[in-house]
Structure 1
Amino acid sequence: MIVDCHVNIWDDEHVLPHYVSGTAMARHGTIGTVADMDTVYAAMGGVDKAILFSLRYHDSAGIDGNDEVTARAVAKYPDKFIGFAAVDPRRPDAMDLLVHAVEDLHLKGVKFGPIYNGVSLLDPRMVPVYAYCVKHNLPLTMHMGTTFAAGTPIQYGKPTDVDEIARRYPDLKMIMAHLAHPWAEECIVICRKNANVYTEVSAIFYRPWQFWNSLIAAQEYRITERNKIFWGTDFPFATVAESIEALQTVNRFVEGTPMPRVSQETIDHILYSNPLDHWWHGGFPG
């Protein structure tokens, strides 16, 4: 079973002009602006399940999505999609929207981007979000690491705040997206020491040297064998096929050298990891 744990969804009207200009700084290749539910469904043909969410990053990355687009996709393709709510704690109605997303739209987790929303994980506005997640058994996926978007507070993307929140809320399942690049080793050691913290590898492979180094560190700290690191694409920023190929060929740059190898066991642990067994207390609620 292959689960893509990080898939973005939005309708065309959610894409603002500065998203198109800003992504030019992120990556050339498969980045696109089209991520409606039918496009996403077609793109996810190579996986069994996909966890998807829209983004409320209107003033930073230029996507102003909503939870309704996520819920409609899940309703149309329930055998493929699992939906997460998006939270922007700056909004006065943030908790009302979250309650609606979970209790009316039946979304199963929460997505938050501290660097994009300009809100630290330690900000008091996050306290009701954490409490609600714990009460309703909702995993919290966080964009950790850097971004292409100008004007974002880089310190909020660093993983050290996750360590503090993990100790304050030991029953909160937290997932650091993108291995918190470029702070992957900090991300890995925080995952290792906190039973409630996980990470994933979406959108890392197109920096191949960083990708290889990060997976070697994950292997040496043995978090892969403990089911702490998961696989995803970050579609439309990468496709399923290239994300799988990059993981399976991660050692290609060190062939013929004495450098260590990412083992096949590590590769398989990541590719066939199943968040549905781990991110919810008692397993995915269905």
Structure 2
Amino acid sequence: MINRDSELAGRFWENSRVPDCPILDFHAHMGPFYGGYLPVDTAETMVGAMDEAGVALTCFVSHNALYAPATGRSEDLSAALRFPDRLKAYHIVCSHALCPEEDLQRIRENRAAYVGFKFHPSTYKVPLSAAQHRPYWAFANENRLLVLSHTWGGSQYDGPEEAEKILREYPDLVLLAGHSFHGSWSEAVKLAERYPNLYLELTAVLDDRGALDFLVSHLGSERILFGVDQPWFAYHHGIGAVLSARLTDEDRRNIFYRNGMKVLARFPWFADIRQKNAGSLS
């Protein structure tokens, strides 16, 4: 719906972006995908889409990294190094092709390129808490990294029970629940209330009418991060859904960028990005 009561919504509808309300995107992909056409499939076209919507920074993992990590990891690193102020990579944790020594060293040598790890347990059919993942969790906890994981309500691999095992043992990392345990909204809220290092991420949440309203009314807006699974969903679709939800403009600003600034403040490189975007990321 068009939200006539929101000053922020009116400015977005008129200009397609609002300079003093930047977007921080915590869930994106990159590159082609077999069997489908994605018009935004390179680092360059992704940055172009970001410019159109006022997205200041995107954290991503490529499709190649998910399914062919031997080549995808280097492609992700290359993209993050080419656009250091716009793109940051999640290092994929491919449960069937793990090499902790090499993977962790890659992050040590390129700390400004990575925000942390990406898990996709439902794809690999390996639970979050599986023993082979422990070196990655320990490293993320020791270095206070972000970890984005696909999560889904009722999943034996990445549902609320699996996530709680991680949150209980590793309090110094920040776990981003991709899709916010989709469908298990009450469980997502309860888990976030118990663990301050859990943030709920909005990819695919916005396809369920009223879900965001429920999360904010029961949890508040301070623990929710913006993401749309770019290029699978367009930025303006996700932005419009947040603008159309029954929220205040302060809630929307929290979701679009304030909460993201809080979790990114742990990285030394973010101070430079804030300085270069002093008119918006403040």
The answer on whether the counterparts of 2:142 and 2:172 sit within 8 Å (CA) in structure 1 is no
Q: Is the Cα–Cα contact under 8 Å of residues 141 and 171 in structure 2 kept in the other structure?
A: no
Aligned partner of 1:4: which letter? D
1:121-162 Cα shifts (integer Å, max 9, x gaps): 12111111111111222111101127xxxxxx9421312211
Q: Percent identity?
A: 22
Distance in 1, matches of 2:224 and 2:250, equals: 13
3-state SS, counterpart of residue 157 of structure 1: coil
Structure 1 match to 2:220: 223
Among 138, 142, 162, the residue aligned to 2:145: 138
**TM-aligned CA distance change 1:201 to 1:64, over 3 Å:** farther
Cα offset, 1:34, TM superposition:
4.7
Report SS of the residue matched to 2:115: coil
2 CA distance for matches of 1:34 and 1:85?
Answer: 21
Superposition misfits of 4+ residues, deviation over 4 angstroms: 62-65
**CA RMSD, 1 decimal:** 2.5
2:232 aligns with 237
1:184 alignment counterpart: 185
**Residue number in structure 2 paired with 1:91:** 97
Distance in 2 separating the partners of 1:87 and 1:9: 16
Matched residue, 2:117: 110
Task: Report SS of the residue matched to 1:174.
Answer: strand
Instruction: Classify 1:247/1:63 alpha carbon distance in 2 versus 1 (closer, same or farther; 3 Å).
Output: farther
**1:97 and 1:114 mapped to 2: Cα distance?**
21
Alpha-carbon distance in structure 1 between the residues aligned to 2:95 and 2:190 = 28
Extract unaligned runs of 5+ from structure 1: 21-30, 147-152, 251-260
Q: Where do 1:1-286 residues align within 5 Å?
A: 1-10=22-31, 12=32, 15-17=33-35, 20=36, 32=38, 34-45=40-51, 46-55=54-63, 56-58=65-67, 66-93=72-99, 95-106=100-111, 107-145=114-152, 154-207=155-208, 209=209, 212=210, 214-224=211-221, 227-250=222-245, 261-278=246-263, 283-286=266-269
Distance across 1 between alignment mates of 2:26 and 2:66: 19
CA distance in 1, matches of 2:135, 2:118: 14
Whole-Å Cα distance in 1 between the matches of residues 195 and 130 of structure 2? 21
Q: Secondary structure at the match of 2:247?
A: coil
CA change 1:215–1:68 in 2 (3 A) is same
Assess, with a 3 A threshold, how the Cα gap between structure 1 residues 108 and 269 changes in structure 2: closer, same or farther. closer
Aligned residues: 243
Q: Distance in 2 between the 1:103 and 1:284 partners?
A: 13
TM-score, structure 2 length as denominator? 0.77
5+ long unaligned stretches in structure 2: 1-21, 270-282
TM-score, normalised relative to structure 1? 0.76
Deviations 1:35-90 (A, max 9, x none): 221121111112111112224443xxx99862211211122111111222111132
Contact kept, 8 Å, 1:277 with 1:284, in 2: the verdict is no
Q: Secondary structure at the match of 2:76?
A: helix
